Amino acid sequence: MPEEPQVPPNFEALPNTGNHDCFGCSPANPYGLRMKFFSGDGALFSWLTVPNHLCGWADLVHGGVLATILDEMMGWTIIHFLKKFALTNSMTVEFHKPVRIGEQIRVEGRVLEAGGKREATVEGLIYKAGDVLCAKSVGTFRLFTAGAISRLGVIGEEAIRKFDFLIQPR
């Protein structure tokens, strides 16, 4: 069993968004990553250990899984800081060091630029122990209000209500 991360005491945990099927963040998806998010120091953070069934070669985490983790982090960064829903328009990933199955990683997300009401550029970073940078991503995202994302049929009304407390301006 992976050890629980040491979350800094001044970080705020984002509430669980309920029983949905998202591969990245759902606590109910038995095959997913079950990412939890924490806000602090102007960024969003998640600590996780990738399970064995998501390996690539030998005991390395598959690169596509690392890209998914970065994409999930960047999307949640937008939800938390910009109070909008987002869909990935494009993203680049640079792989610097391998991540091994069973190794705890820290994922960080920051908004780099909010280009108006419809687009944002976000950065995602994956570190392993010793603050070793393993992967970096920059993504451009299309931003949507709850009404717009519902009209597109991407997220249903019930799921949107589960996010209300996150996207309402404070």
Please, are residues 66 and 134 in contact by the beta-carbon 8 Å criterion?
Answer: yes
The pLDDT of residue 145:
83
* Domain-located, residue 4: no
pTM of the model: 0.89
* Domain-located, residue 28: yes
* Domain-located, residue 2: no
**Other CB atoms within 10 A of residue 4 CB:** 8
CATH of the domain at 71: 3.10.129.10
* Domain-located, residue 163: yes
Work out how many domains the chain is built from and give that number. 1
Please, are residues 31 and 23 in contact by the beta-carbon 8 Å criterion?
Answer: yes
Please, are residues 132 and 97 in contact by the beta-carbon 8 Å criterion?
Answer: yes
Q: Render pLDDT for 15-54 as a digit per residue (tens, 0 to 9).
A: 766 556 777 777 778 888 888 899 998 999 999 999 888 8
The pLDDT of residue 53:
84
* Domain-located, residue 152: yes
Positive or negative torsion for Cα 4, 110, 90, 153:
positive
Q: Which domain holds residue 140?
A: 12-167
Residue 117 in 3-state DSSP? coil
Please, are residues 126 and 71 in contact by the beta-carbon 8 Å criterion?
Answer: no
Residue 90 in 3-state DSSP? strand
* Domain-located, residue 7: no
Angle at 84 between CA 34 and CA 69, to 5 degrees: 30
Q: Render pLDDT for 134-156 as a digit per residue (tens, 0 to 9).
A: 999 999 999 988 888 888 887 77
